[in-house]
């Protein structure tokens, strides 16, 4: 499934939540923005650049930004990915969800080119296939893996339940001028 298809699926699910919370679509990636006093709250989904990999599979991340302009990555004051926005209990639950979707990741055969391109590259690549019995923590960078439209539908339903609280968190970040 190509990133454009996953963006289309996510848009169908997430657009009503953003609209109901006063957001408008932004121009970059799959993103939304709304004013917050003199600042702007921006939220976007970003597909991983290695989605082409047949073995590791595609994935996306959700990121939040408080900024001086309604532009992603510009004049940002504070920025966080969804892993930093979830409680410890939510992170544990998401870890379990991720374990259930491990079937999406198929370990490559020994003949795979990236496993024969040098020790350092091979070690980096193989890290993607290691499962962990440790739950996610707020330090982990959480990416949502998918192999089909149904997987993206599942992740979207999960996000719908979390987004309103994430919006509130962004709006209540401590004095943004001191969080650079």
Question: What are the residue boundaries of the structural domains of the chain, listed by start?
Answer: 3-87+140-178
pLDDT at 119 over 90: no
Which range, of 10-19, 92-101, 154-163, averages the lowest pLDDT? 92-101
**Is the model's pTM score more than 0.85?**
no
Q: Over the stretch 33-57, which tens digit does the pLDDT of each residue have? A: 999 999 999 999 998 866 566 676 7
- pLDDT confidence bin for 83, thresholds 50/70/90: confident
Question: Per DSSP, what are the bridge partners of residue 76?
Answer: 67
Q: Give me the count of residues in the chain.
A: 180
Q: Are strands 39-47 and 59-67 parallel, antiparallel or unpaired?
A: antiparallel
Residue 157 phi, psi dihedral angles, 5° rounding: -60, -40
Residues pairing with 80 in the sheet: 64
Residue 160 near residue 113 (C-beta atoms within 8 A): no
Q: What is the DSSP letter of 136?
A: P
């Amino acid at each position: 499934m190509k990133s454009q298809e996953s963006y289309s699926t996510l848009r169908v699910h997430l657009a009503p939540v953003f609209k109901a919370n006063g957001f408008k679509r932004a121009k970059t990636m799959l993103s939304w923005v709304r004013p917050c006093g003199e600042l702007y709250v921006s939220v976007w989904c970003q597909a991983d650049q290695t989605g082409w990999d047949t073995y590791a599979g595609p994935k996306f991340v959700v990121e939040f930004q408080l900024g001086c302009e309604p532009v992603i990555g510009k004049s940002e004051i504070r920025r966080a990915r969804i892993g930093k926005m979830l409680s410890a209990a939510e992170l544990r639950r998401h870890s379990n969800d991720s374990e259930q979707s491990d079937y999406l990741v198929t370990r490559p055969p020994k003949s795979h080119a990236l496993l024969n391109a040098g020790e350092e590259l091979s070690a980096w690549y193989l890290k993607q296939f290691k499962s962990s019995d440790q739950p996610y923590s707020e330090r982990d960078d959480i990416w949502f893996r998918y192999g089909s439209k149904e997987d993206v539908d599942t992740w979207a339903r999960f996000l719908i339940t979390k987004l309103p609280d994430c919006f509130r968190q962004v709006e209540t970040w401590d004095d943004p001028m001191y969080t650079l």
